[in-house]
Structure 1
């Protein structure tokens, strides 16, 4: 997540969409406990800080990215960890943000289950990701690491969110029908 184009998209499209979702549903993250899952170099975590949470934690599986995050944003809290097993307390977070990492994870369903576990009842999951068609396109034409075993359709994705126990409050296809954003509430 060190690409200037990716940062621009994240700030001006993805984050803006999440902000609109929260505003439309009268949800404030001020004074809340918030997690940024798969934060990369910390840019997304810095954006989330705009919501004035009481506690904000970011993690990524890549130690080199967490090192960059700690150097760039020493005031924020980062750790190396996996979205499949965060080792965080259950029912801890009021909100979890996920900016485009699930299409890299063959066990993406397990990741959603883990994020559900760490959210408080009534907490929100804000997730942006690529579906099967977009993942295939970027893997084929841009040689990006999008493993085919991690591909999902929007029907598969939304069905799993609901089966896990999330209510989908908002969803929007952004950039193309292959990129989607979701606001989900933990029952």
Structure 2
């Protein structure tokens, strides 16, 4: 799988990196601090890591004992390995990671689920590879925002992957996550979530 040329450029430019660091990652850190959750020295997965910028933010911030970035796009993983050779990256599918159950203390997911028609299965797989008591931090777009980008910018946002916030939160809870915190960033169409795997 590869993104179209425009979306690939949008995901690999200084503006996107600035937003990821100063808005999305900042929101995640605020969630963690609010709930007195520390990730220093933990095992962390960056699911849908792209070219590795978010994974390096995680590395610099938490000094994890284990850190893995996975992405379905070989071209992105190739970039990640060149940009951040000190971090472990693999081509991987969030629908079936082939990783052991209960492996990670935390999982970061920066805006990939709206690309996945079977996003509910992705949520289930994230839950599977997370340790009991671990946290999953998710940032994503709802159906209105996905539809806007698909219609006006011709981005690869399949209608089968659209979800309302009610559908999304219902799926998280049905999978076994407890939503500890959520907020909307920029507009109602972009949301961040802190989820706990309670068992």
Same fold (TM over 0.5): yes
Structure 1 position 183 matched with structure 2 position 194: yes
* Superposition deviation, residue 5 in structure 1: 1.7
Q: Please, which runs of 5 or more residues in structure 2 have no aligned partner?
A: 1-10
Equivalent residue, structure 2, for 1:104: 115
1:26-73 C-alpha deviation (Å, 9 max, x unpaired): 000011000000000000100111111111100000011000000000
SS in 2 for 1:16: helix
Equivalent residue, structure 1, for 2:15: 5
Q: Please, which runs of 5 or more residues in structure 1 have no aligned partner?
A: none
CA distance in 2, matches of 1:77, 1:20: 26
1:121 to 132, 145, 164: 132
CA distance in 1, matches of 2:42, 2:115: 28
2:63 to 28, 46, 52: 52
1:23 to 29, 33, 39: 33
CA distance in 1, matches of 2:133, 2:44: 13
1:130-170 C-alpha deviation (Å, 9 max, x unpaired): 00000001111111111111000000000000000000000
1:8-36 C-alpha deviation (Å, 9 max, x unpaired): 11111000000000000000001100000
* Superposition deviation, residue 3 in structure 1: 2.3
With structure 1 as the length reference, what TM-score do the two structures score? Answer: 0.99
SS in 1 for 2:117: coil
1:34 to 22, 33, 44: 44
Equivalent residue, structure 2, for 1:172: 183
Q: How large is the Cα RMSD of the aligned pairs?
A: 0.6
Identify the range of structure 1 (90-99 vs 133-142) with the bigger mean alpha-carbon deviation: 133-142
With structure 2 as the length reference, what TM-score do the two structures score? Answer: 0.93
